[in-house]
Amino acid sequence: MRAQARLGFILLLMPILLWLTALIVIPHIDMFLISLRERVGVGEYATSTANYRTFLGEPLYLVTFARTAIMAVTATFITLLIAFPVSYYIAKMIKGRLQSALFLMCLVPFWVSELVRTFGWMILLRETGLFSNLLQWSGLASGPVEMLYNDAAIMVGLVYTSMLFMVVPLVTTLESLDDSVIEAGYDLGGSGPSILREIIIPHATPGIVSGSIVVFMLSLGNYLTPTMLGGKDSLWFTELIYSQFIVRFNWELGAAFGFMLLILSSVIVWAMLRLTGQTLEKTMG
């Protein structure tokens, strides 16, 4: 009986183990080995840390690296600021059919491919786009206005793409907060901001943290949005990785870049968890 249960357990575990090993662990080990290789001649390689030294020695790489991190953190923060009131409204202020309808409306854009959604923004923001025409028509601008290919456009795209992944965990945690707890706060003399600070946010922290982690990861690793809305010179780290692999055919340096990105995201997530006093089990479980 016990042996059978064990077998069943192993069989059930198999798919995820295979998935993790074949698609995540093995490629990463291989990548790591490639990143430690240096090409010394035609078809000749030696083990060295040259790729990582190249990364650290080139200011452009470092600036792009830092810029990507800061932009991703900023995008996460803005997403949180926008998503929190939206989630609070959906979870607490309305009930019944309207609630599910609004929740669905957050989901609907994700039925369309990310590429198409990003093109949608390009249609709105480009020189001959909707906003530009609107400004000219209303007389606020004398000529065509180019709103694409800058950091603000990237930010808009990133926040838009990430919204759902912040709203879902926030709505879930906020819904689990009993209305009478909020009322008790008012009843005992609390004001709106103090209830938000002392009752609602502490309760929603697991949702805030898990939403933020997901949004941060998505933004940091996003390739499409920065490239399309930010243009060729948007200096996004994933673009550097892409160009090393595909354009320069320098897999060694690309692999090293990939590893730096992995380290960066791990460090920032770890720091965020430490800062908010949460653990990964608590927020993801």
Partner 1 sequence: MTPDLECTALTKRFNDEAAVDNVSFAVPQGSFFSILGPSGCGKTTIMRMIAGFLPPTSGDICIKGRSMLNVPPNKRPVNMVFQHLALFPMMNIEDNIGYGLRRAGLPKPEITRKVGEVLERIGLPGVGKRKVSELSGGQKQRIAIARCMVLEPDVLLLDEPLGALDLKLREHMKIELKALQAAFDTTFVYITHDQSEALVMSDQIAVMNNGRFEQLGAARDLYYRPETAFVAGFVGDTNRWPAKVDRVEGGALQLRTDSGLTLHGASHGRALSRGDRADVYVRPEAIRVAHTADELSQFDNRLSGQVTSILFNGAASRILFRDDAGHEEIEVTLPQSGEFAMLEKGARVHIGWSGAHGNCFAATTAAAGA
Site residues for partner 1 per CB under 8 A: 178, 180-181, 183-191, 194, 198-199, 202-203
CB of 194 to partner 1, least distance (A): 6
Which CB atom, from 51 or from 278, has the smaller least distance to partner 1?
278
Which CB atom, from 82 or from 182, has the smaller least distance to partner 1?
182
Count of alpha carbons within 13 angstroms of residue 261, beta-carbon side = 29
Task: Mention every residue, 6+ apart, whose C-beta is less than 8 A from residue 98.
Answer: none
CB of 119 to partner 1, least distance (A): 44
Which CB atom, from 58 or from 183, has the smaller least distance to partner 1?
183
CB of 195 to partner 1, least distance (A): 9
Which CB atom, from 84 or from 236, has the smaller least distance to partner 1?
84
Closest CA to 241 of 49, 61, 67, 47: 61
CB of 86 to partner 1, least distance (A): 22
User: Can you give the three-state secondary structure of 192-217, one letter per residue?
Assistant: HHHHHHHHHHHHHHHHHHHHHHHHHH
> In 117-152, which positions are buried (b, 16+ CB within 10 angstroms) versus exposed (e)?
bbeebbebbbeebeebeebeeeeeeeeebebbbeee
CB of 282 to partner 1, least distance (A): 13
Which CB atom, from 139 or from 189, has the smaller least distance to partner 1?
189
Tokens 């926040």 correspond to 159
The Cα–Cα gap between 175 and 171 comes to 6
Task: Mention every residue, 6+ apart, whose C-beta is less than 8 A from residue 107.
Answer: 164
9 C-beta neighbours (distance < 10 Å), count: 10
Q: Classify residue 250 by burial, with Cβ atoms within 10 Å: 0-12, 13-18, 19+.
A: middle
Which CB atom, from 84 or from 216, has the smaller least distance to partner 1?
84
Which CB atom, from 127 or from 183, has the smaller least distance to partner 1?
183
How big is the chain by its Cα radius of gyration, in Å? Answer: 23
CB of 214 to partner 1, least distance (A): 23
The Cα–Cα gap between 155 and 169 comes to 21
CB of 120 to partner 1, least distance (A): 41
CB of 100 to partner 1, least distance (A): 23
Which CB atom, from 57 or from 202, has the smaller least distance to partner 1?
202
